[in-house]
Structures are given as C-alpha cells and as structure tokens.
Structure 1
Amino acid sequence: LQRSLYSLADAFECLPCAEGCEACVDGSPCVAALNWVVRSTIFALACLVISCLPFIVYFTIKYGHVR
C-alpha cells in the first residue's frame, strides 16, 4: 500500500489571493494592474504629437505650393 501526498496535511501550502480578490483559483490578479509610468509616457508622447500638429498644418498650407 502506497501513501499519497494528498493524505498529508502539511504537504501543500495555500497561496494568498492576489490584491483585490475575494476568492481565487490561482495566483493571477483579479483586477488589472495599472502601470502608471508606461501610461504617463504614452500620454506625454501623444500630447507632444498633438501639440505639433497645428505647426505641421500651418507649414503645409503656407509652403504647399513649393515643390
């Protein structure tokens, strides 16, 4: 007769649920984690591009006849 690991009380350790979870199946997060550094960088680049657009439109209209 072979003993099973499932019969031993201390054979396995339950991991705590991730932050924001009331019940969980594994260690995956229940709420999407927000990476504020990446989000802020992308937002700053988008603002930079948007702020350059009026100048590009102005020079396109002003020098559109030059080829």
Structure 2
Amino acid sequence: MKKTVFISTPYITLGQMLKEETIVGSGGQAKWYLREHTVMLNDEPENRRGKKLYDGDNVTIPDVGMFFIRTKQDD
C-alpha cells in the first residue's frame, strides 16, 4: 500500500505518524513497535519515535506499506 501523509506543520515525528496512520495506538506502543519491527526512513533503518519527518521524506514499513510525507498546500 502506498499512501501520502499530508502535514500542516513543518514536520511530524515518526511516532505521531505511526499513530495517525493507526499502526499503533499510543506513543508507548510506537516505542515498542520500532524496537520489534523494521522501519525504513529514506531507505535507512530508523527506530527513534521522535525522529522528525519533513516534506519529501518516505517511510517504508514491510508488510504495512509506504508513506510519503508531504506538506499540505493551501488552496
């Protein structure tokens, strides 16, 4: 599954993105999830839930999907 995640702030943390996309239910679960599962940020392994994701970043979670971080454009 490929999905675009639109943000209205300069960045979103990895933990926030995992919660927003209902991969985890809380920040505590995000910490556990990142310890137990492979998460790739721009083709590099990432396990910090506080890692800031900016416009243009790509997060890949095997068996879950690819998430493209994009800034929400004002109309």
TM superposition score normalised by structure 2: 0.17
Give 1 or 2 for the bigger CA radius of gyration: 1
TM superposition score normalised by structure 1: 0.19
Greater percentage in helix:
1
